[in-house]
Structure 1
Amino acid sequence: MTKTARLALGLSLSLLAAGLAQAAQTLKLGTTAAFAPPLEVAVKEAARQGLEVELVEFTDWNAPNITLANGDIDANYFQHIPFLENANREGGFRLKPFAPGIINNVGLYSKKYKAIAELPDGAKVAIANDPVNGGRGLQLLQKAGLIRLKDGVGYKATLDDIVANPRHLQIIELEAVQLVRALDDVDLAQGYPHYIRLAGTLDPNGALLFDGIENKEYVIQFVTRADYADPEGKLRKFVDIYQHSPAVRAALDQAHGKLYQPGW
């Protein structure tokens, strides 16, 4: 090998090593479209502070945890505790919450009534039919004073946990994405502002009641593998930027309006 070839090979190896070192220093964070815009602002803020962050956007709710469990990303941000616990149980993952983000409010909506007190005896009420979202709907009904649940059941509540239903509500369980379409047929429905906005039939801010930060289990979490220790503090630094940067807060306000609260 000529001296020139050896120099070229050495330069190529040096560049490759530098590229690998840079990749190793980059924090890789997975998310979904609903949470991406404010995170993109946080990524820019982090770069100004010397922290390189790569945002990896997924189109479904399964891939972010599979990819994280496989070690291809360092963390993800798209899920709350009930979703995480269900994913760990069904997928055999060992993932853990690292730090809190925001809580997206869920509400009780009606096309027929303007207040909870107006609901008639025997009103038809629709809630989500899955264990992750159904318990949240039941907690909302309890917050509204319409039902009472067993003490301590929390977000794991099911219809079997209702111990009092003084208004004789007819509670109907539907797929979460179908609840907005049920508003023409029921008196009250659990609603997700994002789907309400897409449907365009109601003001997403017009729920008769929203849940809030008292249901901390629904705060969206930065999630890592159970063995992730963040030795260089990269993720902790990024979380701090997300939580406290005025630019990120402005992006959150633009993305979610009044339909979110900080969970930290």
Structure 2
Amino acid sequence: MRKHVISAVSAAIALGLGLAACGSGSDSGSGDDDALVVGATAVPAGEVLSYIQKDLAEKAGLDLKITEFTDYVLPNTALQEGSLDANLYQNQPYLDDFNKSKGTDLVSVVKAYLPPMGVYSKKVKDVTELTDGATVAVPNDVTNEGRALKLLASKGVITLKEGAGTTASPKDITANPKHLTFKELEPAQLPRSLDDVAAAVINNNYAQDAGLSPATDAILLESAKDNPYANLLAVKKGNEDDPRVKKLAKLLTSPEVRKFIEDKYKGSVLPVTSD
């Protein structure tokens, strides 16, 4: 089904532990009015924020707390409800769709980095080698599925109808010469599907969580050119001018963070230095 799916693990954490932060470098924001509590997926957002927390935040006068999530829904739900002050993990098309479908009013503050989506396979070394009738796993949420299909279309594996945008679905496929079947899965499950499908289109953070290197393991990787999917720092509307948020936004686009991203991810995540 094409819907947002809440990870059972994340739900248990959120309900049972009150959105307690994960990891030794993170703390709960409860009871600390001066701390900026930011939600993130572990990779790369959590790692980028941890670097800022340990190496840059104190000098900038920022008390940064990090809460990690394993899905794409709870970070926005928690932000809207006030358990978080900001989050870092999503792109603008996803945020726009979330606001529309959930009635939230979350806004972008600054673009931080681009985590390119990739196609991965244990059976072929190029998407052109996919056999007739092969099954390809794709994310089951609206914007990530559209992103996955557009990536496949960029290589001519399928053709999408003219004007198909960021919410493209299999219904928008006008040519499928290899008669591929698309299996829609929760994004976090996609790496585990690689033994069962011919290929899977996997979001960057879940690929890296599974030990895959987008720069070297993907058989097809998104280009950075004209890419609308840079991950962004988001807040609830009205909080864009919070001084703590402004400090974090400045750090996220600093030369230090750019170098950290380049050195650590070696092309698997690409820095963004301005809007």
Pairwise same-fold verdict (TM > 0.5)? yes
Shift of 1:192: 3.8
Shift of 1:157: 0.3
Which residue identity is paired with 2:222?
A: D
**How does the TM-score come out when normalised to structure 2?**
0.73
- Counterpart pick for 2:179 among 159, 168, 189: 168
Query: Which secondary structure does the structure 2 equivalent of 1:168 belong to?
Result: coil
Whether 1:156 aligns to 2:156 is no
Deviations 1:143-185 (A, max 9, x none): 1111111222222000111112233323333333333333333
Contact in 2 for aligned 1:179/1:190 (Cα 8 Å): yes
Shift of 1:99: 0.9
Match of 1:45 in 2: 56
**Structure 2, gaps ≥5 residues long:** 1-31
Match of 1:141 in 2: 152
Contact in 2 for aligned 1:148/1:162 (Cα 8 Å): yes
Whether 1:225 aligns to 2:236 is yes
State the aligned residue count: 238
Deviations 1:75-118 (A, max 9, x none): 22122223323432343221111110112122112222222333
Distance 1:253 1:172, change over 3 A: same
Match of 1:56 in 2: 66
Distance 1:262 1:148, change over 3 A: same
**How does the TM-score come out when normalised to structure 1?**
0.76
Q: Which runs of 4+ in 1 moved over 6 A?
A: none
- Counterpart pick for 1:258 among 246, 267, 270: 267
- Counterpart pick for 2:251 among 221, 233, 241: 241
Q: Provide the aligned C-alpha RMSD in A.
A: 2.8
Distance 1:215 1:121, change over 3 A: farther
Alignment of 1:1-264 (within 5 A): 26-34=35-43, 35-43=45-53, 44-49=55-60, 51-60=61-70, 61-71=72-82, 73-199=84-210, 204=214, 205-214=216-225, 216-230=227-241, 232=243, 234-246=244-256, 248-253=257-262, 256-263=265-272, 264=274
Query: Which secondary structure does the structure 1 equivalent of 2:201 belong to?
Result: strand
Shift of 1:68: 2.7
**Structure 1, gaps ≥5 residues long:** 1-22
Contact in 1 for aligned 2:135/2:180 (Cα 8 Å): yes
Distance 1:40 1:174, change over 3 A: closer
Contact in 1 for aligned 2:159/2:176 (Cα 8 Å): yes
Query: Which secondary structure does the structure 2 equivalent of 1:216 belong to?
Result: coil
The percent identity for this pair of structures is 33
Distance 1:235 1:209, change over 3 A: same
Distance 1:165 1:222, change over 3 A: same
Q: Structure 1 stretch 170-179 or stretch 107-116: which is displaced more?
A: 170-179
Q: How far apart in 2 are the matches of 1:158 and 1:243?
A: 33
Query: Which secondary structure does the structure 1 equivalent of 2:76 belong to?
Result: helix
Deviations 1:8-39 (A, max 9, x none): xxxxxxxxxxxxxxx66654433333322221
Please say which structure displays the higher CA radius of gyration.
1
Which residue identity is paired with 1:228?
A: N
Q: How far apart in 1 are the matches of 2:102 and 2:184?
A: 25
Q: How far apart in 2 are the matches of 1:169 and 1:65?
A: 33
Deviations 1:227-249 (A, max 9, x none): 224165x4334322221232x23
Contact in 1 for aligned 2:76/2:87 (Cα 8 Å): yes
Match of 1:3 in 2: none
Contact in 1 for aligned 2:46/2:68 (Cα 8 Å): no
Distance 1:215 1:147, change over 3 A: farther
